[in-house]
Structures are given as structure tokens and as C-alpha cells.
């Protein structure tokens, strides 16, 4: 288990992802803390097979692989869309719903068709994010955050990435794909997991005490 000084101002962190959208969003979250982020892709680190059966398990798997491969602290995100009427699908298989090319236009169409097949009328959904932090010595920690809302069809907005154009968070009219990125970041499942992780693992003054 990582201690409360796992991250501090001046830390360098590998974001264990080849998804530039995720890398950008996470990098923006860490910037105010003075933590420098580099992507696994820029370090030519391989992407491990995601064999876990939960978001937390897959996040830990990716964080450990990046920490071992880089010799640095690593952070991994595993996240996805869970649609209540579909029994939680696509869930941990959210990227796979896009096929070999991870085509999210196709993935969103699949969600729409699957909901239609249920008879429609019940489109409650949530995004879930698990953030795992791992050290090269094998110590780790993981936190999960969720944001609830509903599925919108057809897709709206060209901002964000993944399923953002079909997800409307509770209390709002815009999809994540339409929202100003700063507002989306404040509301997102990723932010909620991030706040939990930083509260437990960040030393404000860089103290190792």
C-alpha cells in the first residue's frame, strides 16, 4: 500500500495509456500540483492485455506494467460506460465494443441498437473510472469514481472522446461531447476518482515525512 507521500510537487509520473484523450485529461488534472506527466506511448511501453474482471483490477494491471517498464511511479485509468438496461454493459469492455480499431462511433451505435432491442424507455447510465497508482517496487493503491446520467441519441458534440457524445450527466442538458472541457473535467468520473486518490496520496509540500 502506498503511503501519503507517494506523490508530491516535482514528482514525475507515467500515465499508463496510449489513449491521448485520457493522457491529456489526466495531465491537466496533475498540472496544478506541479506533477509532470509522460505517456506510456511516448516511452514505447507495451500495453498489457486487460484480463481483469473489474475496472480496479485492470487499472492495477496497467499501472504495475508501466511502473515496472519505466522504473517510475505510474498511474493507470480503467474506465467505461455502464448502461443499466444492458446489465452494466459495455462496462469493462467499453473499448472493445468499438471493434479492433476501437471505433467509438461504431461502439455508440451498438449501445443505441442494444437499448432499442430492450424496448427503449430506460436509458439510465453511468461512467465509472478506476485510477490505480503503482510504484516500481510493487506498492499500489486504487480508487474509483462514478458520474450518473442518461444516454442521448443521436450523438451530440465533437469534444471529449469515447462515449462522451451520447452521455448527459444528471442535472445538465449538454452531453459530455458538447460541454466545455473544464466543466466536463469538474463533473467527471475521472475527477471523482482523482480527488480520492490525491487526498490519500499527495504531500502538498513534497514532504516525505
CATH code of the domain in which 162 resides: 3.90.950.10
DSSP state of 126: E
From first CA to last CA, the distance across the chain in angstroms is 16
**Residue 62, CB-side half-sphere exposure with 13 Å CA sphere:** 28
Counting DSSP H helices and E strands in the chain, the numbers are 5, 8
Q: What is the pLDDT at residue 3?
A: 66
- Which residues are CB-neighbours of 96 under 8 A, at least 6 positions away? 90, 102
- Which residues are CB-neighbours of 4 under 8 A, at least 6 positions away? 200, 201, 202, 203
Q: What is the pLDDT at residue 28?
A: 87
- 42-79 burial, b at 16+ Cβ within 10 Å, e below that, comes to eeebeebebebeebbbbbbbbbbbbbbbbebbbbbbbb
pLDDT tens figures, 42-90: 999 998 989 999 999 999 999 999 999 999 999 999 999 999 999 999 9
Inside any domain, residue 147: yes
Q: What is the pLDDT at residue 24?
A: 85
d(CA 129, CA 196): 12
- Model confidence at 149: pLDDT above 60: yes
At residue 205 the predicted structure's pLDDT band, cuts being 50, 70 and 90, is: low
Inside any domain, residue 157: yes
**Across 184-204, average pLDDT:** 89
Inside any domain, residue 208: no
DSSP state of 90: B
Inside any domain, residue 51: yes
Query: Can you tell me whether residue 155 is helix, strand or coil?
Result: coil
- What cell does 105 get? 462511433
pLDDT mean across residues, the chain: 92
Of 66, 67, 97, nearest to 81 by C-alpha is 97
Inside any domain, residue 209: no
Domain total in the chain: 1
Of 175, 170, 184, nearest to 152 by C-alpha is 175
Inside any domain, residue 35: yes
Inside any domain, residue 25: yes
Sheet-wide strand order for 12-15: 36-39, 12-15, 73-83, 124-134, 140-151, 167-169
Positions marked catalytic: 78
Pair 95, 163: CB distance under 8 Å: no
Q: What is the pLDDT at residue 25?
A: 81
pLDDT tens figures, 11-45: 899 999 888 877 888 888 899 999 999 999 999 99
Inside any domain, residue 169: yes
- Domain span at residue 174 reads 7-203
Amino acid at each position: 500500500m502506498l503511503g501519503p507521500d507517494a506523490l508530491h510537487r516535482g514528482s514525475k509520473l507515467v500515465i499508463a495509456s496510449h489513449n491521448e484523450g485520457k493522457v491529456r485529461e489526466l495531465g491537466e488534472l496533475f498540472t496544478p500540483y506541479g506533477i509532470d506527466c509522460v505517456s506510456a506511448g511516448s516511452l514505447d511501453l507495451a500495453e498489457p492485455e486487460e484480463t481483469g474482471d473489474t475496472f480496479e483490477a485492470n487499472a492495477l494491471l496497467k499501472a504495475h506494467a508501466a511502473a515496472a517498464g519505466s522504473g517510475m511511479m505510474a498511474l493507470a485509468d480503467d474506465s467505461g460506460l455502464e448502461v443499466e438496461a444492458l446489465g452494466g454493459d459495455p462496462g469493462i469492455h467499453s473499448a472493445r465494443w468499438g471493434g479492433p480499431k476501437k471505433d467509438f462511433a461504431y461502439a455508440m451505435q451498438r449501445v443505441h441498437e442494444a437499448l432499442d432491442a430492450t424496448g427503449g424507455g430506460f436509458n439510465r447510465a453511468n461512467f465509472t473510472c478506476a485510477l490505480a497508482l503503482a510504484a516500481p517496487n510493487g506498492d499500489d493503491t486504487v480508487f474509483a469514481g462514478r458520474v450518473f446520467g442518461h444516454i442521448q441519441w443521436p450523438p451530440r458534440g465533437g469534444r471529449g472522446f469515447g462515449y462522451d457524445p451520447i452521455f448527459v450527466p444528471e442535472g445538465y442538458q449538454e452531453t459530455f461531447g458538447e460541454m466545455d472541457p473544464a466543466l466536463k473535467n469538474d463533473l467527471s468520473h475521472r475527477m471523482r476518482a482523482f480527488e480520492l486518490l490525491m487526498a490519500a496520496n499527495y504531500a502538498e509540500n513534497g514532504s516525505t515525512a
